[in-house]
Amino acid sequence: MTRRSVICGTGHYLPERIVENSWFEDKLDTTDEWIRSRTGIERRHFAAEGQTTSDLAIRAAKAALDRAGMTADDIDGVVLATSTPDFTFPAVATMVQAGLGMKRGFAYDVQAVCAGFVFALANADAMIRAGQADRILVIGAETFSRIMDWTDRGTCVLFGDGAGAVVLQAEDGAGTSDDRGILASDLNSDGTYRELLYVDGGVSSTGTAGQLRMQGNLVFRHAVEKLAKTAHTALDRAGLTPADVDWLVPHQANMRIITATAQKMQLPLDKVVLTVADHGNTSAASIPLALSVADGQGRFAPGQVLVTEAIGGGLSWGAVVLRW
């Protein structure tokens, strides 16, 4: 028998404030049509004043636990992906732990920017496979509106705030690609591309939070190439091919990257979960948000193969293949 990590609950939370593209028209040299045509984004959510990343994460975690039919007492640990923590420390995960009333187990953050949830999911899977935990909450949560340069139309129109969560549970499998749960993952980083996507602040450099900087054209080029490759690698490790994929659940960066990646994988768009129009790029939250939305709509059937993939600052990128 092989120990597998199966998703048994999903949940998400989006701040109440919805910002349409038209909101930017009075502030920047841009239009709703310009943003839609280049990104596919129509609106995004922004956190309220005083609303933190941990606030969003706690709500998403509670929703995932409810859907799984569990309570915080059933959870052994929390692994949370974010680039926009409430504080330099402690970890946002520990604040989620406290917010859920958990008095035991572990809680820590993973930082791989937009690829953070994929890294967190692979990390939690490894812990479950090793027998260190039976149930783990894996969360992606961001408040990117806090690090935007509102004069830079190339970045500030892209991002939104939100949180998504999944409950991973250990189950026995036969050790084949027919098993339910996470079948394979592929993680990569290359720090020589730091200047393509970064925040120009930090504790040991400027002592400030900083603002997001991005070379969009170069990021696009790397994204399409690296996302398709990592997805193929993960599928190979799982003993599967793109023809076996029922759903691609990509990082919701922008519609052009998603479409180009799907084409490279020879997948039609009706097999791709799309939330970018309503959420924008929510970084580490985008994949669990998309999983939760699609799950809530009943789009995933038991036994279907899902591929999640993402790329973010670092550059860091990766993919996870799982059977629902």
Mind listing the pLDDT tens digit for each residue in 16-52?
A: 999 999 999 999 999 999 999 999 999 999 999 999 9
State the pLDDT confidence band at 283, using cuts at 50, 70 and 90. Answer: very high
* Number of domains into which the chain is organized: 2
Q: Output the pLDDT for position 140.
A: 99
Q: Are residues 132 and 197 in the same domain?
A: no
What backbone torsions phi and psi does residue 187 show, to the nearest 5 degrees? -125, 140
Token match 């701040």: residue?
A: 15
Q: Output the pLDDT for position 244.
A: 98
Q: Are residues 88 and 224 in the same domain?
A: no
Average pLDDT over residues 269-284: 98
Which 3 state secondary structure label does DSSP give 186?
strand
Average pLDDT over residues 197-219: 97
Average pLDDT over residues 127-131: 98
Q: Are residues 250 and 105 in the same domain?
A: no
Q: Are residues 221 and 167 in the same domain?
A: no
Q: Are residues 113 and 232 in the same domain?
A: no
CA triplet 224, 228, 230: central angle to 5 degrees?
120
251 is catalytic: yes
Q: Are residues 20 and 167 in the same domain?
A: yes
Q: Are residues 136 and 210 in the same domain?
A: no
- Could you give the CA distance from residue 275 to residue 254 in angstroms, rounded to a whole number? 10
Q: Are residues 164 and 202 in the same domain?
A: no
Average pLDDT over residues 5-13: 98
Average pLDDT over residues 125-129: 98
C-alpha R_g of the chain: 18
Mind listing the pLDDT tens digit for each residue in 69-106?
A: 999 999 999 999 999 999 999 999 999 999 999 999 99
Q: Which residue is catalytic, options 12, 114, 123, 254?
A: 114
For residue 13, the domain's CATH number is: 3.40.47.10
8 is catalytic: no
Q: Output the pLDDT for position 53.
A: 98
Q: Mean pLDDT over all residues of the chain?
A: 97
Q: Are residues 201 and 233 in the same domain?
A: yes
Q: Are residues 135 and 249 in the same domain?
A: no
Average pLDDT over residues 173-202: 98
281 is catalytic: yes
Q: Are residues 212 and 134 in the same domain?
A: no
State the pLDDT confidence band at 253, using cuts at 50, 70 and 90. Answer: very high
Mind listing the pLDDT tens digit for each residue in 49-75?
A: 999 999 999 999 999 999 999 999 999
Q: Which of 171, 200, 235 is the last residue of a domain?
A: 171
Q: Which of 117, 143, 171 is the last residue of a domain?
A: 171
Q: Which residue is catalytic, options 156, 251, 254, 279?
A: 251
Q: Can you give the pTM of this predicted structure?
A: 0.98
Q: Which domain holds residue 159?
A: 1-171
Q: Output the pLDDT for position 52.
A: 98
Q: Which of 122, 144, 171 is the last residue of a domain?
A: 171
State the pLDDT confidence band at 130, using cuts at 50, 70 and 90. Answer: very high
Calculate what percentage of the chain has a pLDDT beyond 70.
100
Q: Are residues 105 and 200 in the same domain?
A: no
HEC string of 234-299 equals HHHHHCCCHHHCCEEEECCCCHHHHHHHHHHCCCCHHHECCCHHHHCECHHHHHHHHHHHHHHCCC
Q: Output the pLDDT for position 198.
A: 98
Average pLDDT over residues 215-237: 96
